[in-house]
Amino acid sequence: MRNKKIVITITSIVAVLLVIIGVTYAYWLVTKTQTNENIISSGCLDISLTGEKNDITLTEQFPLSDEDGMKLTSYELVMD
């Protein structure tokens, strides 16, 4: 009888741990994408970021000197 209780207890603990691990993995696996624009507002500051032109793309970037960085295409932040 005592061995049966130990087996049931251990099985229950393992099952609970597996459920917790599965839920945690599923939570971190969820990928979210955004289709609308970002709007940030705070008191007297309103910023709207849209992807209509001059998208900022940083692929295969690495640190540059100030002189080399000034030669690159600049991006403009328009504030209404």
Could you report the per-residue pLDDT of 24-40, keeping only the tens digit for each? 888 888 767 777 777 77
In a domain, 79, yes or no: no
Residue 75 lies in a domain: no
Residues in the chain: 80
CA distances for 14 relative to 2, 8, 18, angstroms = 19, 10, 6
Residue 19, domain member (yes or no): yes
pLDDT digits (tens, 9 = 90+) for 52-61: 665 667 778 7
In angstroms, the CA 52 to CA 38 distance is 12
Residue 46, domain member (yes or no): yes
Give pLDDT, residue 58: 74
Q: How many domains does the chain have?
A: 1
Expressed as residue numbers, the domain containing 53 is 2-70
Q: Does the global pTM surpass 0.75? A: no
Asked, for residue 43, whether it belongs to a domain, the answer is yes
Task: Please report whether residue 77 resides in a domain.
Answer: no
